[in-house]
């Protein structure tokens, strides 16, 4: 074993010992053990944002992507999400991961989310590696849907440009201890570029049973997407097409202090480009099980332990069938000191892989929380593994790289929250991440590229947010993210990482039934290639929304890119021109 590997192993051992030493030392002080599986998210914690169904109704948003784009430090797109510049974000729908292993950027199947049935969204910024496992350098987004409860339903229809139509139906019914629900949806658009059309369909079923001491939830989801692939503006692909299918099953159960989550996901992807005689297909399935249990002891209080196992397989017409396994074990403890309002959260996780080295990830967090003021500091380690598609899938613009390795990250955050009065609050978060062997798409001069491990990458910066309600009918929210993201080996700036991002959201309710929203977003210049040879200019884009409630009927209108600005996304692809959407919804 060389010196570098020995130092890394020694550091892991030291961190492990530190976590358990802190756990033992806290036994010398009076404390109250948390009764939950880890620290509960708080609305006064700028690193853990909790959004309820009532919050969503007040925010006047139409989709989960719109919702996430209103959160400071979070940027979501059609199939991607970034937190503080990192796309290593795990997204869970009722405990089941909906990140696509056949996506090069860990794409998320947002179309599986029944947005009108969402009960709660919790966003963990730079946290969650112990409980939620790998691929959480950026953080975790946990989406929970409503229980069946009383019989209820919602139907929503909308239409707009360019040749866009949407339909969603949700219905739930409860009979005694049993409940059932169905969710249907379709979104179709002609696109704003040549060969930019898409057609998305989804269907979801939900069943639950609630006994006195236990409960079970069963979820089945199916999604299908057909779309054109227009390609880079300089390298258009007017005949390239893709088809994606998703099928998932999840069974969640709770018996006393034991929680179980079982899931099966299948993803199918086909890509064809007749111009270069390219036709590739890739299929993947994943089956997993996770168990969480709260152990109560007389001296040390409550510990939370968990274990998971997952098997994944991939096969395609240009790659041999491959099967990979991974396992995880973790332990967490939250301590609430009685002498001062301080909460100490400790955790340790081990990840074991058939294709990658073992990863040991600790997490330490301290939070000082008064009524209207809080300070928190955290240290964590995470690891991110490459997806199947990053290693084995060839398309018109991507080459394979079977030797792509794991990246590892050490993350630090320091956060402040202050509410000087009921109508005003603000937060500040400082963050720093050091990432070794970062996985990055490297594009060449011919428009093609592959995913590579860079040397050492750092991401550092700050999130500032402010919320003010001067009168009951008016709410103003703003946020600013400052980010420095560099490849320390080459000195180059990381692609898709603007230094400055500003969001401004103004909501006005002139009458109880009418809500008007104006949202503006600014992003500074960013590089579209890892060698910094190409960049896209900064942009400012504004949207306008209106929503009117008439008992159970809802009418809405959205205009995106209000001033029809011509701008590019960070990857160099053109952004949409002005688009509008008119629709209606009805609750029954």
pLDDT digits (tens, 9 = 90+) for 47-65: 889 999 999 988 889 899 9
CB atoms within 10 A of CB 515: 22
Among candidates 361, 353, 282, 342, which has minimal Cα distance to 315? 282
Query: Do 542 and 562 form a contact (C-beta atoms < 8 A)?
Result: yes
CB atoms within 10 A of CB 184: 15
φ, ψ of residue 85 in degrees (nearest 5): 85, -5
- pLDDT grade for 6, boundaries at 50, 70 and 90: very low
Res 104: pLDDT: 67
**CA 532 to each of CA 435, 486, 495, 529: distance values in angstroms, whole numbers, following the listed order:** 19, 11, 8, 5
CB atoms within 10 A of CB 296: 11
Res 44: pLDDT: 56
Q: What is the mean pLDDT of residues 514-536?
A: 94
Q: What is the mean pLDDT of residues 535-558?
A: 95
**CA 376 to each of CA 42, 161, 345, 520, 574: distance values in angstroms, whole numbers, following the listed order:** 12, 45, 11, 30, 40
CB atoms within 10 A of CB 22: 16
CB neighbour burial string for 193-232, b if at least 16 within 10 angstroms, e if fewer: bebbbbebbbbbebebebeeeeeebbbbbebbbbbbbbbb
pTM recorded for the entire structure: 0.85
Res 23: pLDDT: 37
Total residue count of the chain as it appears in this document: 588
Q: Hey, which of 4-13, 192-201, 291-300, 441-450 has the most confident mean pLDDT?
A: 192-201
CATH number, domain 3-587: 2.40.170.20
CB atoms within 10 A of CB 10: 10
Res 299: pLDDT: 77
Token digits of residue 308: 């998971």
Res 1: pLDDT: 43
- pLDDT grade for 266, boundaries at 50, 70 and 90: very high
pLDDT digits (tens, 9 = 90+) for 141-176: 999 998 776 788 999 999 999 999 999 999 998 888
Query: With 90 as the cut, is the pLDDT of residue 2 above it?
Result: no
| Residues with Cβ within 8 Å of residue 170, at least 6 apart in sequence | 114, 116, 117, 153, 154, 155, 181, 182, 183, 184
pLDDT digits (tens, 9 = 90+) for 315-367: 888 777 889 999 999 999 988 887 889 999 999 999 999 999 999 999 999 99
**Mean of pLDDT over the chain:** 88
Among candidates 218, 108, 81, 91, which has minimal Cα distance to 143? 91
């Amino acid at each position: 074993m060389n010196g570098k590997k020995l130092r890394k192993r020694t550091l892991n051992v030291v961190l492990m010992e530190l976590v358990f030493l802190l756990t033992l030392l806290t036994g010398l002080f009076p404390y109250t053990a948390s009764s939950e599986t880890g620290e509960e998210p708080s609305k006064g914690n700028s690193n853990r944002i909790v959004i309820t169904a009532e919050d969503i109704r007040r925010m006047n948003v139409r989709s989960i992507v719109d919702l996430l784009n209103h959160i400071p430090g979070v940027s979501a797109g059609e199939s991607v999400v970034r937190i503080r510049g990192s796309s290593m974000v795990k997204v869970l729908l009722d405990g089941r991961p909906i990140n696509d292993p056949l996506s090069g950027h860990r794409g998320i199947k947002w179309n599986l989310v029944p947005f009108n049935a969402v009960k709660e969204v919790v966003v963990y910024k730079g946290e969650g590696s112990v409980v939620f496992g790998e691929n959480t350098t950026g953080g975790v987004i946990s989406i929970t849907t409503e229980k069946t409860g009383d019989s209820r339903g919602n139907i929503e229809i909308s239409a707009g440009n360019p040749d866009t139509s949407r339909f969603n139906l949700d219905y739930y019914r409860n009979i005694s201890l049993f409940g059932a629900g169905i969710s249907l949806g379709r979104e179709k658009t002609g696109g704003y570029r040549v060969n930019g059309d898409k057609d998305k369909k989804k269907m979801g079923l939900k069943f639950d049973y609630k006994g006195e001491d236990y409960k079970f939830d069963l979820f089945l989801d199916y999604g299908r997407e057909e779309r054109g692939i227009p390609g880079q503006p300089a390298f258009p692909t007017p005949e390239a097409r893709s088809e994606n299918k998703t099928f998932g099953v999840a069974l969640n159960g709770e018996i006393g202090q034991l929680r179980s989550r079982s899931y099966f996901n299948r993803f199918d992807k086909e890509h064809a480009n007749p111009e270069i005689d390219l036709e590739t297909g890739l299929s993947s399935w994943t089956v997993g099980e996770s168990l969480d249990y709260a152990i109560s002891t007389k001296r040390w209080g409550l510990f939370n332990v968990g274990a998971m196992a997952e098997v994944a397989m991939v096969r395609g017409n240009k790659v041999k069938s491959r099967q990979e396994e991974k396992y995880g074990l973790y332990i967490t403890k939250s301590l609430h000191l009685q002498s001062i309002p301080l909460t100490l959260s400790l955790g340790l996780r081990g990840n074991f892989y058939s294709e990658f080295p073992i990863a040991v990830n600790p997490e330490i967090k301290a939070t000082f929380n008064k009524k209207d003021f809080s300070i928190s500091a955290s240290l964590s380690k995470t690891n991110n593994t490459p997806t199947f598609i990053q290693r084995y899938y060839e398309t018109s613009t991507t080459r394979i790289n079977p030797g792509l390795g794991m990246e590892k990250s050490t993350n630090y955050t320091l956060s402040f929250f202050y509410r000087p009065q009921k109508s005003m609050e603000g937060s500040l978060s400082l963050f720093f991440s050091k990432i070794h062997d970062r996985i990055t798409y490297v594009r060449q001069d011919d428009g093609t590229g592959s995913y590579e491990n860079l040397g050492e990458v750092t991401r550092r910066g700050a999130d500032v947010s402010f919320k003010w309600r001067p009168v009951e009918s008016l709410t103003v929210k703003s946020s600013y993210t400052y980010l420095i993201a560099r490849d320390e080996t080459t000195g180059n700036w990381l692609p898709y990482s603007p230094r400055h991002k500003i969001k401004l959201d103004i909501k006005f309710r002139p009458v109880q039934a009418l809500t008007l929203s104006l949202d503006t977003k600014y992003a500074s210049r960013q590089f579209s290639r890892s060698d910094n040879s190409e960049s896209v200019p900064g942009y400012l884009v504004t949207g306008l929304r209106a929503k009117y409630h008439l008992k159970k009927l809802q009418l809405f209108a959205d205009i995106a890119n209000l001033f029809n600005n011509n701008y590019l996304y960070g990857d160099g692809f053109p952004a949409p021109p002005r688009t509008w959407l008119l629709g209606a919804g009805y609750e029954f």
